[in-house]
Structure 1
Amino acid sequence: MALDDPGHARCPGPAARDIILADGWHVPDALVAESYAFLGDEDIGYDRYVSPAFFEREMTHLWPRTWQWVCREENLLEAGDWLTYDVGRHSVLIVRGDDMAIRAFPNACLHRGTQLKRSNESGAATELRCPFHGWSWTLEGGLKNVPCRWDFPHVTDEAYALPRVKVETWGGFVFVNMDPAAAPLADQLGPLAEHFRGRWDLANRRVSLHLQKELPTNWKAAQEAFLEAYHVYETHAQGLATAGDANANYDIFSDHVTRFVHTIGTPSPHYTQAQTQQEILDKMRVDGVLVPEGRTARSVAAEKLRAQIGAETGVDLADYSDSEMLDSIEYHLFPNMCLFPGVSLPMIYRFRPIGMDPGRTLFDLMFLKLVPEGTPMDYPPDPIPVAAEQSYADAPGMNPGLGAVYDQDTDNLAMQYRGFQASAKRGQTLGNYQEARIRRFHQTIDDYLGRP
């Protein structure tokens, strides 16, 4: 490939899109859509991850101005249900009002600033009451009671209603934006909303498991570990016999939405050892099943999953393609959300700073299972904390094999963060194609930081 044509080189052989089309299934148009552009090849400076000054700019210009998902609608089923969402120094209180509308407010009393509700907690209430002096507001944010009101003639109901934080919902998720002048959520979702319309609609799913783990790194580095399949070669070397990596497809649909698709049930281009389809299926841990002549391990594994997951969920999966059943299909919604519309890998990720330390990140790992049409909402399970030294596999309800993969994903992060600080070379060098999503991510960050 000529040096004057950067970004156009691809791994030899079939790409993920070719493999998906060769399966012979009718697939959603979105799954095989392609959108890539060369975005440059400059290093990404390490100060963006470790500098308190850069972190402060994010806290001022990025987090208060972008839509972030805070919870599922199921978390706020009844009037009075509330929860708090914290990102860095910011804290937002989200509540279901008596009129059943969802509202959000800065989580601070207008008297002397005390948080109305503790960070990272949830509950039910009939009013929003400050635990310090007892000032209270209605669930809709109207001033309700000021003890010794005679001493506050300068306080009016109109001026001391709780300030509003913008709220919108999509796909069963509740989003907030702290910027009063924020554009609608639809502008940030862009093509994502259209791609997830129909059978990928996440409103038709329910939370089956939610884990939370602190990661010893910057929030950007934490999610970047999941934005490319390039790391599979070394970090998940045990999967090379059954997982496409270098031939994954990468798409940049907008400044806020990117995606990769890498296939499962096909060997990596790096894996050169000859295998039969039966050997591939056995390595996928699909036990006791034979690959009939003329079939592939990929199609047999998908067929078994259709029957198994269909029976478990009560959902008819007959029309779901092999790719939707097996593959790692991951969208990123800026700034910190990853969404998987697939069936056997139905994850949602979120990465957000903990307090004002650039090197601390809270990782939310959620699984959204399919449910039969018309299934009523119920409260989701509470998040399960996973200690820094604990394996994801130890969490109740977590698949042990998948837990071990997540251990591999995040065990690199502490060493990487230390390397950011020790390196004589002051930036990371990205691949033009396989790591383009990371570059787009940083370009969008710079766009926010450059706004007045």
Structure 2
Amino acid sequence: MGVDFSKIQDGFATAASPLTKDLLLHDSKPVEPALRETGNFLAPPKKIPFNRYFDRDFAKLEKEKVWKKCWQVVGREEDLPQVGDRKPYDAGELSYIIIRSGPNEFRALENACKHRGTRLCHTATSAPTIKCPFHAWEWNVDGSVKNIPSRWDFPSVTDEEYHLPEAKIGTWGGFIFINPDPDAGPLEDALGVLPKHFGPRESTDRFTYVGFRKKMRCNWKQAQEAFFEAYHVIETHPQIMTYNGDTTTSYDIWDDGKSQVSRSITPSAVPSGHLGDDASRLLAAEESLKTFALMFPGVELPKIKSAETGRAEVAEWRRQMMGAALGVDFSSCSDSYMLDATQYFMFPNFWPWFGEGLPLTYQFTPYGDNPDECVMETRLTLPIPANGQRPPASEIVDIDFDTPIASVPAMGIMSTIFDQDLSNLPLVQLGLHSTRDPQASATLGLYQESRIQAFHDMLDRKIAE
């Protein structure tokens, strides 16, 4: 039986907690065009088999159809500031050297020696050439052969044939993307609405303030699905319900057959709809202000004047504080831009966030050949100061399976949120294995989990190609 999409309820509002779309209508500033746009796609609802999160045969299909065929984010240009800087990018068993091969040029080279297969790059480093640590076979930074010791003993080896194999590479908004498929279409096809929605301040003109790379005992799909929805806030993050509009979150999906981009906007400085009509809007503004003030220790906080203007007051305080700290003019930015958690997703694993409410970036990848493990890389970014001098990008901290995000103090209050999120994921992975029914499947909400449904719809299409 089909679903009448026109009758799907798009959130739950109360007298104290308007839907996000209504908050945007009453913003104290003109709302950015991107935030006014709505999606064009809803995937037909179907249940998601549990076994696709742990079945090794399905993981092999993903390797062939997703990780070898799709445009995927591998880092930012600022990670590799000098020619010769390189780092490995691993997607499961696949590995590439992402290297700055010229002042304005990057390459993605297969991370295996053409002699006997030794991995050539296993950590971020820099050198004028790429040299195998086993027998010193050596390549230039563009992947061309430089030197083979005892070349006389390899008469069949030619420079052309032993050039390091390359994946396609492209850049957008300060991010670097690769696609191993030599027949892949251009990166622009995969980006969908992102270039239209994001300007330089949201993408290019930023630097990594702090970041981590976390190993997790769960499937990569299951891990990122935890961030597609705000439905989990009531149980996983109850401490933020006084100032987080989880039930009023808006969800949008854009899909043109070549790309899939989805978005959620979760408002801040409004209470959760779960708290009812009598929830305090004044307290929501006050608690939101305290949270945002954590990045300015010791600063005296203003008194919120009224519940009616509280959200706008918090936004204006942020405009002033961030403007003074960075020398950046935020005066025309909307309340939503300054306060709300606005996250975008580009299939299969790229998560750029919009605005200054929570300026994060995620990427998720399988870890090795075990579908029960994955890696999440997270960055908190800030705008480049008005003087135009780009601060050096912070080193991405590697965090092992059993080490909490709280081990990275610079993440601040977000470390608590992340550790709460990540505490669920191993339990979900165990539960997926535990059912006796081989046909067991996930049942998704029509609206709050619509982005998960769309993600699997796109995944199914890629698998079927």
Moved more, 256-265 or 74-83: 74-83
Alignment of 1:3-22 (within 5 A): 4=4, 8-13=8-13, 14-22=18-26
- The SS at the match of 1:207 is strand
Counterpart of 1:11, as a letter, is G
For 1:158 and 1:239, how far apart are their aligned partners in 2? 58
Partner of 1:239: 240
For 1:406 and 1:11, how far apart are their aligned partners in 2? 24
Structure 1 411/112 Cα, relative in aligned 2: closer, same or farther at 3 Å?
Answer: same
Structure 1 434/141 Cα, relative in aligned 2: closer, same or farther at 3 Å?
Answer: same
Structure 1 240/424 Cα, relative in aligned 2: closer, same or farther at 3 Å?
Answer: farther
Partner of 1:301: 314
Is the CA contact (8 Å cut-off) linking 1:7 and 1:432 kept in structure 2? Answer: no
Is the CA contact (8 Å cut-off) linking 1:61 and 1:449 kept in structure 2? Answer: yes
For the pair 1:331 / 2:333, whether they are aligned, the reply is: no
For the pair 1:75 / 2:79, whether they are aligned, the reply is: yes
For 2:435 and 2:6, how far apart are their aligned partners in 1? 27
In the alignment, structure 1 segments of 5+ residues that lack a partner are none
Partner of 1:268: 272
Displacement of 1:376: 3.5
Task: Provide TM-score, normalisation by structure 1.
Answer: 0.94
For 1:114 and 1:389, how far apart are their aligned partners in 2? 29
- The number of residues matched between the two structures is 446
For the pair 1:212 / 2:225, whether they are aligned, the reply is: no
Counterpart of 2:401, as a letter, is A
Partner of 1:147: 149
Structure 1 12/276 Cα, relative in aligned 2: closer, same or farther at 3 Å?
Answer: closer
Partner of 2:113: 109
For the pair 1:129 / 2:161, whether they are aligned, the reply is: no
The percent of aligned pairs where both chains have the same amino acid is 36
Match of 1:388 among 394, 397, 401: 401
Partner of 2:297: none
For the pair 1:85 / 2:89, whether they are aligned, the reply is: yes
**Once the two structures are superposed, what CA deviation does each residue of 1:27-70 show, in whole Å capped at 9, x if it has no partner?**
11110211154422221001110101111111122101111121
Partner of 2:231: 230
- The SS at the match of 1:161 is coil
Displacement of 1:378: 5.1
For 1:130 and 1:387, how far apart are their aligned partners in 2? 27
Partner of 1:440: 454
- The SS at the match of 1:284 is helix
For the pair 1:281 / 2:285, whether they are aligned, the reply is: yes
For 2:390 and 2:68, how far apart are their aligned partners in 1? 30
For 1:303 and 1:296, how far apart are their aligned partners in 2? 11
For 2:3 and 2:89, how far apart are their aligned partners in 1? 47
Match of 2:43 among 39, 43, 65: 39
Partner of 2:170: 168
**Once the two structures are superposed, what CA deviation does each residue of 1:391-426 show, in whole Å capped at 9, x if it has no partner?**
323313121x22211111111111111111112451
Structure 1 140/439 Cα, relative in aligned 2: closer, same or farther at 3 Å?
Answer: same
Moved more, 159-168 or 362-371: 159-168
Displacement of 1:12: 4.6
Displacement of 1:437: 0.6
In the alignment, structure 2 segments of 5+ residues that lack a partner are 291-299
Counterpart of 2:243, as a letter, is T
Task: Provide TM-score, normalisation by structure 2.
Answer: 0.91
For 1:127 and 1:365, how far apart are their aligned partners in 2? 29
For 1:98 and 1:29, how far apart are their aligned partners in 2? 36
What is the aligned-residue RMSD (CA, Å)? 2.0
For the pair 1:94 / 2:98, whether they are aligned, the reply is: yes
Displacement of 1:385: 2.6
For 2:166 and 2:301, how far apart are their aligned partners in 1? 57
For the pair 1:415 / 2:427, whether they are aligned, the reply is: yes
Displacement of 1:4: 4.8
**Once the two structures are superposed, what CA deviation does each residue of 1:91-145 show, in whole Å capped at 9, x if it has no partner?**
0012222565211211111111111222xx1111111111111111111111111
Counterpart of 2:310, as a letter, is A
Counterpart of 2:419, as a letter, is D
